[in-house]
Amino acid sequence: MMRLPWFQYRAPASVMEAARILAGEGPQGMLIAGGTDLLPNMKRRQQTPATLISLSKVAGLKKISNDSGLTLGAGLTLTEVVGASTVREKYRGLYQAAAQVATPHLRNMGTLGGNLCLDTRCNYYNQNEDWREAIGYCMKREGTTCWVATASKRCLAVSSTDTAPALIALGAKVRLVSSAGERELELASLYNNDGMEYITRKPDEILTEIVLPANNGWKSTYWKLRRRGSFDFPLLGVAAALRLAPDGTVEDARLVLGAVSSQPLPVAKASAFLVGKKLDDAVIAEAGTLAASRAKPMDNTDLDVYWRKEVVPSFVGYALREIRGDDMRALRMRIARQEL
C-alpha cells in the first residue's frame, strides 16, 4: 500500500487563522483542501511537507454569490461548481471544464481552488521516489536536468488544470489572503511559464475566492483532449469566450489553451484576429492556425507530441463552431464520451 509520510496536521477554523499558521510554518507547511493533487504527490514523495494545514474546517470557502457577476468560494468542490445553475447557464465553459476534471469521485473531493493551484505535471516527475531515483531525479525535485529537453534551463512540467483556461477566458479574478492582507488579481497573472515556479501565489497566501464578471452576453465553451472519457488530465484544453453582436460579428474574444505549456496560455493574437469578424469556416480555420502556433506540447504526457500540436486547430475549431451555434453534440460525444 502506498502510504503518506508522517506529518503534523492543523485544522484552523478561519482563513486568518490558517494564514497565520501558514506564515509560521514557512516552506515546510502546505495547505490541503480536497487533497486529490497533494496526497498522491505526498505518497510518491514528490512533496513532503512537515505540516498540513487543512482548509476543511475553514468557514466561508464554499460561498456562491450572484452579485453583479459570480463569486465562487475556492473550497467549493468541482461537483458543487458543476451543480451550480448559474455556472451551467451563464458560464458554460467553466461548467464544461469542471465536469471533465478527473472522475466523479475526484470531483466530489477536489476543489475549484485546488484545481487552479494544481501542481504542474510531467511523466518524469509524477512517479514514485524509486522511479525518480532510477533516472537520477529531475530538475523539479532533487535533480538538475529536465529530461523532457535536457538542454532546457527551466522545468517543462505541464499546466494540467482544466478550470484555469476556462476561467481565464471568462475574465476571472482571484482573491488571495495572507496574514499581512489580501489582494485580487487577474487569474491569468496567477501563473508563470515555468514548471517549478508555475504559480505566483506567495507561499503564505491562501486562494479564497474566484470572481467572475457579469456575463453580459458572453458565450463560452471548453473542449478537452484526453485519451479516455474519464480520469485523464488534459493533453489539450481549448477554452473560448466570445461576445457576438446580433448579426454574429465577434465583438470580443478570449481564447486560452491548456496543457500545452507550463501555464494556461491565453492566445491573444488568435483572439484579436477574431474581433470584428463573423465566424465563418475560413475565419475559424485561421484562428485555429494562429492559436496552434503558440502551443508547445512536450513529450512528457500521454499521446504523441507532434499529433497533439497538429490537432490544436481542430479543437479550436470545435470550440468556435459550438459558440457559432453549430450542433456539436455528436462530435462532443465522440471526443468527451458524454453530453456536456
Partner 1 sequence: MNTVLKKVDRRNAQISLRVNGEELEVSFAPYKTLLEVLREDLDLTGTKHGCELGECGACAVLVDGVPLLSCLKLALECDGASIETIEGLAEGPELHPLQAAFSDHGGSQCGYCTPGVLMTAKALLDKEPNPSRERIKEALSGNLCRCTGYQQIVDSVAEAARAMREREVKA
Partner 2 sequence: MSSAKKFDVIGHSRRRVDSRDKVTGQLRYADDLKLPRMLHMKLLRSPHPHALIEAIDVTRAQAYPGVQLVLTGKDFPVPFGIMPVAQDEYPLAPEHVRYVGDSVAAVVAKDEQTATEALALIEVKYKSLQTIATPDEALAQPQARIHDYTDVGNIHRNQAFEFGDVEEALAGSDYIFEDLFFYEGDNHLAMEQHAALAKNEGEGKLTLWTSTQDPHYLHRQLARVLQMSAAHIRVIACNNGGGFGGKCDPAGHEFVVSKAALMLGRPVKICLTREEVFYLHRGRHPVLMKFRTGVSKEGKLTGMHLQTLLDGGAYGSHGPASTFYTGVLTPLTYELPRFKFDACRVFTNKPACGPKRGHGTPQPRFGQEVQLDKIAEKLKFDPAELRLNMVTKADSLTANWLKIGSNGLAECIRQVVDGSGWKKKHGKLPGGRGVGIACSSYMTGAGVSIYWNKMPHSGVQLSLDRSGQVTVFCGATEIGQGSDDVLAAIVAETLGISTKEVRCITGDTGITPIDLGSYSSRVTIMMGNAALQAAGRAREMLVAAAAEQFEVLPESIVLSRGRVFAAGDANKSMSFAEAVVYAETKFGTLGTVGSYTPPKPPGKFKAAGVGPSPAYSFSACVVEVEVDEHTGWLTVPKIWIAHDIGRALNPVLARGQVIGSVYMGLGEALMEEQVFRRLPPKLSNALVHKIPSMLEYKSITSLDMPEVEVYLIEDPDPNCPFGAKEVGQGPLLPVMPAVANAVFDAVGVRIDEVPITPEKILRALHLKREGKIARVGPEHFPDVPYVEPTFVLPPAEGGDGNESKRPDRKAAGKLAERTAS
Report the partner that residue 89 touches, choosing among partner 2, partner 1, none (CB closer than 5 to 8 A by kind): none
Contacts 24+ apart (CB under 8 A), 76-79: 76/111, 76/112, 77/34, 77/107, 77/108, 77/109, 77/110, 77/111, 77/112, 78/102, 78/106, 78/107, 78/108, 78/110, 78/111, 78/112, 78/115, 78/163, 79/104, 79/107, 79/108
Contact 4, 42 (CB under 8 A): yes
Report the partner that residue 247 touches, choosing among partner 2, partner 1, none (CB closer than 5 to 8 A by kind): none
Give the largest CA-CA distance in the chain: 61
User: Where does the chain have alpha helices with state H?
Assistant: 15-25, 38-43, 78-83, 85-90, 92-99, 104-109, 112-116, 129-134, 163-169, 268-274, 281-294, 305-310, 312-324, 329-336
Q: Interface with partner 2 by CB under 8 A: which residues? A: 1-3, 6, 123, 126-128, 130-131, 133-136, 145, 147, 150, 227-232, 302-304, 306-307, 310-311, 314, 334-335, 337-338
Nearer to partner 1, 286 or 302 (CB): 302
Among residue numbers 114 through 143, which ones bind partner 1 (CB under 8 A)?
Answer: 129-130, 133, 137, 142
Q: Is 203 exposed, middle or buried (0-12, 13-18, 19+ CB in 10 A)?
A: middle
Residue of 71, 103, 152, 314 interacting with partner 1 (CB under 8 A): 103
9 touching partner 1, by CB under 8 A: yes
Task: Please give the span between the terminal C-alpha atoms of the chain, in angstroms, as a whole number.
Answer: 36
Report the partner that residue 296 touches, choosing among partner 1, partner 2, none (CB closer than 5 to 8 A by kind): none
Residue of 20, 45, 88, 309 interacting with partner 1 (CB under 8 A): 45
56 touching partner 1, by CB under 8 A: yes
Nearer to partner 1, 145 or 179 (CB): 145
Sign of CA dihedral 96, 101, 104, 105: negative
Q: Cβ of residue 157: shortest distance to partner 2, in angstroms?
A: 14
231 touching partner 1, by CB under 8 A: yes
How far apart are alpha carbons 321 and 334 in whole angstroms?
A: 16
Nearer to partner 1, 36 or 163 (CB): 36
40 touching partner 1, by CB under 8 A: yes
Nearer to partner 2, 3 or 153 (CB): 3
Q: Cβ of residue 318: shortest distance to partner 1, in angstroms?
A: 20
Question: Locate cell 508563470: which residue?
Answer: 192
Q: Which stretch binds partner 1 (CB under 8 A): 150-158, 224-232, 255-263, 285-293?
A: 224-232
Q: Which of 73, 90, 2 is nearest to 34 (CA)?
A: 73
Number of residues that bind partner 1 (CB under 8 A): 40
Nearer to partner 2, 153 or 334 (CB): 334
Using DSSP, state whether 137 is helix, strand or coil: coil
Q: Return the H-helix or E-strand segment holding 253.
A: strand 250-258
Q: Cβ of residue 127: shortest distance to partner 2, in angstroms?
A: 8
Binding pattern to partner 1, positions 265-294, x when CB under 8 A?
------------------------------
Q: What cell numbers appear for 100 in the block?
A: 471533465
Nearer to partner 1, 50 or 331 (CB): 50
Amino acid identity at 127:
Q
83 touching partner 1, by CB under 8 A: no
Q: Cβ of residue 314: shortest distance to partner 2, in angstroms?
A: 5
Residues at the contact surface with partner 1, assessed by CB under 8 A: 1-9, 11, 32, 35-36, 39-40, 43-45, 48, 50, 52, 54, 56, 102-106, 108-109, 129-130, 133, 137, 142, 229-231, 338-339
